[in-house]
Structure 1
Amino acid sequence: MPRFPHLRQDVTASLVVFLVALPLCVGVAVASGVPAELGLVTGIVGGLVTGLLPGSSLQVSGPAAGLTVLVFEAVDTYGLPALGVIVLAAGVLQLVMGALRLGRWFRAISLSVIEGMLAGIGLVLIAGQLYAAAGLEAPATGAGKILGLPGAAMDALGSTEALASLAVGTGTVVVMVLWHRVPGPAGAVPGALTAVLLATAVTLASGLPVATVEVRGLFDAVQPPDADAFGSVAGIGVLGTVVAFTLIASAESLFSAAAVDRLHTGPRTRYNRELMAQGAGNTVCGILGALPMTAVIVRSSANVRAGARTKVSRVLHGVWLLLFAALLPSALALIPLPALAGILVHAGWKLIPLRGLAALWRGHRGEAFILVVTAVSIVVVNMFEGVLIGLALSVAKTAWEASQVRLEVMDRGAGPLRVHLSGNATFLRLPKILDTLESLPDDRPLELDLTGLHHLDHACHTALEHWAERHSTPETPPVKVTP
């Protein structure tokens, strides 16, 4: 039996994934405010390092649009040399978490929080890339990007260069949206690659005054962090950024793994090992001063649809990226920046679950509320705090729904009033419990039956004791409590 029985299918799939990944790697790097070559480096590491490790057999890793906003903020705040240290620390933390078998716990994170996080990222990404598509400088904050769009539109309308740049970006989006409808073999070519090639050809042929990718060279772009870089990132702010990188990259990778597992019938993902594989990849990316990586659903689904059968396909896609970066780096200088902005506008739009939100609102309005608040918080505040707000709301909603308590007042005519409590009595339901008890008449004896409670927290227990003591006075009939 041959050692690689599915080699032909895997080679074909690897070429498809390479063609999908190439423009995305470059686009994510440019949008993150780092040299374009660093996006290719992360894609190469995702193939050659993470691709070789156990975990998920068909999932493809590389730079992701979902981390663009966070990376841009980190580079803007701490500088490019510090990025490698942050990514390295995040990778080591992922390795530790995988070794401690914490990978499966990411599956316990509320899906509404994850989708809200991606929607918030998508909104900020779209807003920021609209400026890039017009060749304009974007405001620093997410809210500033969105609120500044009307003014940016007025500026673009008054500039011939901005209109030309915006036309290239708009054309890129249109090609990507419509390309999947093209019949025949041409439709099998990835839409992103087609859009970039067409935009490049049109720009060169017409001589449009459009900015292109700045090329530094692969070895010049790779700058491993030195001692000064490690010394410049000490502080609580950097620690928060590392935690944000770790949690978001891990959650996106493991949720992607769950989605990819539904697309094929091969071996299932081993979540703790996949988390360690992602950690190993990010550790190497950090050492090289490159972008952080996650598993990416677009590349992974393309890999499955192209007929990949084993991890050979994702490893080979890293080989093709390496060959391109080594042999054809000057080709990057021909790519128009607004074309890359168009690709990321399209990617950002796909991060916003509009159809899912409508269905969620009809069936689970609380979850839809969490999704929207998480997204808006990321836009208004920042990524890390927005996710924390979403998680806090999710926990509060779960606690509220879990603390269902039922009060029954039974009046048998003669004898005491009997108040029966059942369910889970927590501080969240305490106002309702006390309002019911205090509305009962004071001139009759009361019996408080707690035997139906599954859970009685300290706050409720203390409040009920105080209420019973307060109502058991010489002037009023006693309260009997049945624990």
Structure 2
Amino acid sequence: MIKTLSVSVLRWDLPASLVVFLVAIPLSLGIAVASNAPIAAGLIAAIVGGIVAGLAGGAPLQVSGPAAGLTVIVAELVQAYGWRATCMITMLGGLLQLALGACRVARTALAVSPAIVHGMLAGVGVVMVLAQLHVVLGGSPQHSAISNLRELPGQLVAHHSQATLLGLLTIAVLLLWSRLPKGRFSAARWIPGPLPAIAVATLTAWLLSWDAPRVELPGSLLSGWHAPALPHGPPPEIVGAVVAIALVAAVESLLCSVAIDRRRPAGVPRADLDRELVGQGAANTLSGLLGGLPIAGVIVRSTANVEAGARTRASTVLHGLWILVLALSCGPVIEQVPLAALAALLVALGVKMIDTARVRDLRHHREAPAYFVTLGGVVLLGLGEGVLLGLAVMGILALRRLTRLTVRVEEAAPPPGTLAPLPRPSPPAGDTPAAAQPAGLAQGSAGDTSAGGRPGRWHVVVEGTLTFLGVPKVTAVLQRIPPGTAVDLDLNVDFMDHAAFDAIHEWRRAHERLGGGVDIDEIHESWYERAVTGDMSPPRKSSPPARWWAPWANRRRRTEGPELDAPEVSPSALLLAGVREYQGRTAPLVRPIMAELAFEQKPEHLFITCVDSRVVPNIITASGPGDLFINRNVGNMIPRYGSRTPDDSVAATVEYATEVLGIRTITVCGHSNCGAMAALLAGGSEVDHLTSLSRWLKHGNHSLARFLASEPRGDEPPLARLCQVNVMQQLDNLLTYPWLRNRVEAGDLELVGLYLDLETANVHILDPAAEAFVPVPDEAPDDDARTLT
């Protein structure tokens, strides 16, 4: 075991620690500058975060240290209480984190919406950019973001010193380094951009003897150490500062742990969030005691650690040791770094924190308002106020969702013996003008054909959470129903309060007094019936039915059948239990369809995808029996025409689909984290012992060559890019078959590329012109739109 661990450390963790060390040094110095703290405080926090949090924490691949998200809080604390008191607040915040970790409440911190966290980080990024731009331009930052913004135009047109040129040089090197071409510059790309940017600026200032403010270090890290001092001020404000440091650092660390946990390599254990919170508390306590900045898990350093190949916590601990060695032995070198270069680095970091891609994701979940309110609040009012505003907005959004109510009037059934009108959809009641409502609500029933013109029967459906907030909407619909009619009222509600019950009950009594009839049917729970009878005991919660698309492992505890509920079930028994469930629940439903398809199939699409068990074509296309003609193979690959490694299985499928079945659409669907593509990316060394698989993977060489020749897009992981490139290449491989190419060019056959992101369960479609995968449009084009019912 010890031998295996040492080999892993030497092979993976030692190189990764050096990469993280190179990233951490300039960022730690820059964050100290932005926090108005001593420069040594950034190095102390980086050392303690690496060693203490690395050893005691529960996320083995997470790297902790001074975090940009805490700069605004720390800068305000330093201005209000002084540095020594800020260290005491950091130490108390660490003790609070220790207590929270001991109480095992780490997962409750994840209840804070990511919209608020990302909005907070974006707001901090804006504040950082506005403040550090003044330093880059040769000035001094003001006390607030608004003041910095107000003074910025004058700073831009003012006389600029040599420090400005150093800051601009740093930004230019950062931009150029991220765009280095491949080939002979591939090795250089492994060096993090901040290091060469700071090095170039420092060498330029030293060689040209430019007069620019530089970093000032004490004789040693702890030479000017003083014990933390108690802050002087109103106790509620001090308690608020301690809680703010503890909670903001804890939430940022835990969210970082979750994000890194999703990217951990195989064999690395999952993060223990409670232990991680204890480790963060221990690190903050020691950092505050030694005069360091507050510590949190940092996504930039943690991501660099994972991408550099780290396998154990040895990487983060070693990176802390390297910073300690550098701080003790290379102080004169660090003191040559211009402050303007560090400020420019922080400007670039602040811009990265304003992640616009997050806004697109939040819009899909309708949480963008909380993001923008938090961002604006942090910039205009302060970090604490901005977060509180974001929490308030999320509370309002959650309340709105919890009290969402739909009321609709469905087509009235005519009296017996009359012709039924054609069904037509009715818009949600209360959301449309009276003219759009069924005619019977205003002038009598459309089915009014009985003797004497007596109105027919009305059907009202109420769905959602029925509280006092929904009473006006429900009563507005119910009061427009003509008197004397028969009404079927379906209450499909998950909760009903007394105000809602009282409103419906009074309407029912009034309607029945006028000769009408009301039949109330409660679909979800008997809230109305229990209120009428006075039995207000909590309703029994029955376990929801098993979902047919859920994996067996997710359904075993929720399925009533003894086969699926047994603690230990063999694979064959589990399979047979699933068959029995299908025969009991699903087969009766699909039997008419299968009987129709029993002697002939007429699929519309040939769907070529991977054998990966996580890709289920019928689920991601919402298709059923007879819709898809499916070919599955390792890596969703199609051997090229005349390939040296012959394999006719895919070609036979394509021939049969097009020549016999008359299919006119062929779809190639790839997916993220494909094992075949991972093997290609590793050169096939991991599957050398699998002869047949190694021979089959040779069909992916063209995909690998295309991947190596293409330019990366942003921060997209190499494996994800190869999985997408492979889909494009397989579509090109189809065109190597002359007879198939002729059909495509004649417009008789369409080729489609899809990509399934397993983590988000989203499907993207290939845009051939841009050679990129884009989200599937929300609506089909008008000329080809069809409704699936």
TM-score (norm 2): 0.56
After superposition, the Cα gap between the structure-2 partners of 1:429 and 1:308, relative to the gap in structure 1 and judged at 3 Å, is same
Separation of aligned partners in 2, 1:201 and 1:416:
87
Deviation at 1:32, TM superposition (A): 0.2
What is the identity, as a one-letter code, of the residue corresponding to 1:18? F
CA gap of 1:393–1:160, structure 2 versus 1, over 3 A, is closer
Q: What is the one-letter code of the residue matched to 1:404?
A: R
Tell me which residue corresponds to 1:336: 338
Q: Partners in 2 of 1:397 and 1:73 — Cα distance? A: 31
> Residue 118 of structure 1: CA displacement?
1.0
Look up the equivalent residue of 1:455 and give its one-letter code.
F
Query: Residue 464 of structure 2 is aligned with which of 423, 427, 433?
Result: 423
What whole-Å deviation, never above 9, does each CA across 1:139-196 have from its counterpart, x for those lacking one?
2122222233222213xx3x242xx222211211121122133314333222111111
Matches of 1:167 and 1:468 in 2, distance apart?
79
One-letter amino acid of the counterpart of residue 39, structure 1? G
Write the distance in 2 (CA, Å) between the matches of 1:223 and 1:477.
87
Give the fraction of aligned pairs with identical amino acids, expressed as a percent.
38
CA deviation digits over 1:371-399, x for unaligned, max 9?
12211111111111211211222232122
Contact 2:408 2:462 in 1 (8 A): yes
2:25 to 9, 22, 25: 22
Shift of the 153–409 alpha-carbon distance from structure 1 to 2, 3 Å rule, reads: same
Change (3 A) 1:80 1:451: same
Normalized per residue, the structure richer in helix is 1
Show the counterpart of 2:385: 385
Structure-1 separation of matches of 2:224 and 2:517: 77
**1:356 corresponds to 2:358:** yes
Residue in 2 aligned with 1:323?
Answer: 325
> Structure 2 vs 1, CA of residues 466 and 224 (structure 1 numbering), >3 Å: closer, same or farther?
farther
> 2:592 matched to which residue of 1?
none
CA 1:479–1:305: 2 relative to 1, 3 Å: same
Is 1:48–1:315's contact at 8 Å kept on the other side of the alignment?
Answer: yes
Give the distance between the partners of 2:114 and 2:168, measured in 1 at CA. 32
Whether the 8 Å CA contact 2:455–2:484 is kept in 1: the answer is no
Report if the CA contact (8 A) 2:90-2:242 is conserved. Answer: yes
Which amino acid is 2:96 matched to? L
Deviations 1:295-319 (A, max 9, x none): 1111112222222221111111111
Map of 2:295 onto structure 1: 293
Deviation, structure 1 residue 212: 1.0
Question: Bigger relative contact order, structure 1 or 2, given CA contacts below 8 A and separation 6+?
Answer: 1
Alpha-carbon offset, residue 63 of structure 1: 0.1
**Rg larger in structure:** 2
Displacement of 1:449 after TM fit? Answer: 4.6
Quick check: 1:135–1:165 contact (8 Å CA) kept in 2? yes
The equivalent of 1:222 in structure 2 is: 225
Cα deviation for residue 462 of structure 1 reads 5.6
1:190 to 2:192 alignment: yes
Please name the residue that 1:370 is paired with.
Answer: 370
Q: 2:473 aligns with which of 425, 432, 435?
A: 432
User: What is the alpha-carbon distance in structure 1 between the residues aligned to residue 289 and residue 306 of structure 2?
Assistant: 30
Conserved? CA contact 1:407–1:419, under 8 Å: yes
2:122 corresponds in structure 1 to 119
Shift of 1:117: 1.2
Q: TM-score of the superposition, structure 1-length normalised?
A: 0.89
Q: Distance in 2 between matches of 1:237 and 1:335?
A: 36
Aligned equivalents of 1:84, 1:323: Cα separation in 2: 23
Within 1, Cα distance between the matches of 2:213 and 2:43? 20
Pick which of 254-263 and 289-298 moved more: 254-263
Q: Matches of 1:479 and 1:285 in 2, distance apart?
A: 74
Contact conserved, 2:457 with 2:488, CA < 8 A, in 1? no
2:468–2:499 contact (8 Å) kept in structure 1: yes
Instruction: State the SS of the aligned residue for 1:219.
Output: coil
Q: Which amino acid aligns with 1:72?
A: A
Q: Is the 8 A contact 1:35 1:216 kept in 2?
A: no
Query: CA shift at 1:340, angstroms?
Result: 0.3
Change in Cα spacing, 1:407 to 1:262, as seen in structure 2 (3 Å) is closer
C-alpha displacement of 1:472: 8.4
Greater CA drift, 451-460 or 302-311: 451-460
The letter of the residue matching 2:154 is: G
8 Å contact kept, 1:47–1:61 = yes
* Matched pairs, number: 470
**Residues 184 and 234 (structure 1 numbering): CA distance in 2 closer, same or farther, change over 3 Å?**
same
After superposition, the Cα gap between the structure-2 partners of 1:121 and 1:416, relative to the gap in structure 1 and judged at 3 Å, is same
The equivalent of 1:237 in structure 2 is 237
After the TM superposition, which residues 23-38 of structure 1 pair with which residues of structure 2 at under 5 Å, given as runs? Answer: 23-38=26-41
Q: Once superposed, what is the RMSD of the aligned Cα atoms?
A: 2.7
Segments of 4+ moved more than 6 angstroms: 415-418, 445-448, 465-469, 476-481
Once residues 431 and 86 of structure 1 are traced to their aligned partners in structure 2, the CA distance between those partners, rounded to angstroms, is 51
Match of 1:339, SS state, is helix
Match runs of 1:10-159 below 5 Å: 10-154=13-157, 157=158, 159=159
Distance 1:207 1:421, change over 3 A: same
Q: Is the contact between residue 419 and residue 446 of structure 1 (CA under 8 Å) also seen in structure 2? A: no
Structure 1 residues 12 and 430: CA distance shift in structure 2, 3 A: same
Aligned position for 1:304: 306
1:111-158 per-position Cα deviation (integer Å, ceiling 9, x unaligned): 22221111111111111110111231222122222233222213xx3x
Query: Match of 1:22, as an amino acid?
Result: I
Does 1:454 pair with 2:494?
Answer: yes
Corresponding residue SS for 1:424: strand
Distance (Å, rounded) in 2 between the aligned partners of 1:458 and 1:122: 48
Q: Distance in 2 between matches of 1:478 and 1:385?
A: 55
Deviates more, 1:62-71 or 1:232-241: 232-241
